[in-house]
Amino acid sequence: MGFIRIPSTITSTQLSLVISNLSSLAEERWDREQQEKDRCRQAVHQVQLEFGLHKVFRHSELVSHDDFMNALVRLLDQKSKLRESLAGSSLGIAASGQFCHLSDDGSLIIPHNWK
């Protein structure tokens, strides 16, 4: 989310112009965000099917859609090694610097940049 800082001395004409200019930019960003979310939903569905996972999710908003997607693609590349271990689990993708761990609800949490 962004905020617009507007000086108290702005005229209504200037305000209308600023809002008009920024609203088209906001719409573009919103559309891009929705496309990224849709790509992630599709990848999550594929990972769930391939590994037999109950749930796949971003553990934190700090994980960007690109980082999330990259982690899912790398997981799919390791399918033969990980399928048995992950089947029936829930998997969260966390921000970098996190360690692999189990969350309070039993989900396996891995950092997006796992090696």
Per-residue pLDDT reduced to its tens digit, 10-51: 899 999 998 888 888 889 999 999 999 999 999 999 999 999
Taking alpha carbons only, the member of 76, 66, 49 closest to residue 112 is: 66
Helix/strand/coil percentages in the chain, nearest 5: 55, 15, 35
Per-residue pLDDT reduced to its tens digit, 62-104: 999 999 999 999 999 999 999 999 999 999 999 988 789 999 9
pTM for the full model? 0.76
Per-residue pLDDT reduced to its tens digit, 51-72: 999 999 999 889 999 999 999 9
> What's the CA gap between 99 and 105, in Å, rounded?
17
